Amino acid sequence: MDSLTHALSGALLVRATASPAQSSEQILPLRTRILVGFVAAVFPDLDLALRLIDTLTYLNWHQGPTHSLVMLPVWAFLLSYLFSRLSRKKYSWKVFYWPVCMGIAIHIAGDLITSYGLMLFAPLSMQRISLPLAFVIDPWFSLIIITGLFLSLRFPRQRVFAVCALVGLLCYVGFLWSLHERAMNIAVAYADSQAMKKVEINVLPQPLSAFNWKIIIQNGQTYHVAYINLWRDRVNRQYASGVFLLQRMMAAYQPYEQVMWQLYNQCGSGAYNLQLVSQAWLQPEFEKFREFAVFPALDRIDDDNYETCFWFIDLRFQFPELPPSFSYGVCLENKQSSWRMRRQRGIFLID
């Protein structure tokens, strides 16, 4: 999820679980408690600082230890101690601890349902875990949270609105789960119709609509990819030829009965020198990209009088009508034996 939605979700959860106001000075005032939840829910995204090293280091460690349930008590203690010091020790760190825990925990839950994956049990395990149900920016998800907070501010003595918003979020996630299962069933049916054996099926949420999904079926080094919309029953020709980018993007997600499957290969088509492509892919200079890419595929080969570059993408970050994000190439200078890695910037700042 985006950082603002994370922060608001932390404030919502803390408001929903707030006890009735008490006179003891060891009980945080409601507004302070909500502010603590707001800030704590942003804390895990401090790993953005890894961008100062380089983009691939950030991509490989984003949603890593700061998003770990194992490390959560440690981060909560450190952040609680910091809040206590900022209050000039008016409040003990223990008073801040549970609101901080809730803020961090709901951040982890929000990222868990996106497709990037997080190191949920770091440092015990660096394996990434994901339940891909929501796109990283989901307006409906954010709207439910904002509505709950707005009504809570409008009626400060009532926490029922925050509780209802949390219930609404759970219902919405359940709805997304049902859409995920529908897309998964379509993928299984296609794999069966093509007599594909021992395939890996992944269904990823997409932008613009909760009904938009990408299906990736991996069969060896070959990927079968489809962009599907689970709401429409026919292709919108007007959108497909529209002048606006978002219209054309929306039209690319097709009804499942009319979906067109696209084929990609990790080493490209047979027209390329597959041995040279494989050699480029396995270069030590490309190790960080190999660690990052879940569905790597050769995008293109640039060949001129000076060098030959093999450009790879991760199919997770390829969206209709947009250049792929996080595109990296490994280049061989002509008549030289040294390889160099290059990065191609996309349209987003994070690229």
Residue 335: the pLDDT is 61
| Contact predicate 39/4, CB 8 Å | no
pLDDT tens for each residue of 302-319? 888 788 899 999 999 999
pLDDT at 279: 87
Mean pLDDT of the chain: 90
In this prediction, residue 349 has a pLDDT band, given cuts at 50, 70 and 90, of low
Give 55-113 pLDDT, tens digit per residue. Answer: 999 999 999 999 999 999 999 999 999 999 998 878 899 999 999 999 999 999 999 99
In this prediction, residue 87 carries a pLDDT of 86
Task: Give me the mean pLDDT over the 31-41 stretch.
Answer: 95
**Please, are residues 142 and 5 in contact by the beta-carbon 8 Å criterion?**
yes
| Domain range list for the chain | 3-131, 176-260, 274-344
Please give the average per-residue pLDDT across 174-182, as a whole number: 97
The pLDDT > 90 percentage for the chain reads 66
Average pLDDT over residues 218-236: 89
pLDDT exceeds 60 at position 24: no
Q: Is the pTM above the cut of 0.75?
A: yes
Provide mean pLDDT across the span 138-148.
Answer: 96
Comparing 93 with 23, the larger pLDDT belongs to: 93
* pLDDT at site 338: 82
pLDDT classification of 350: cutoffs 50, 70, 90 = low
pLDDT in tens, 238-295: 666 667 888 889 989 999 888 899 999 888 766 567 788 888 899 998 999 999 999 9
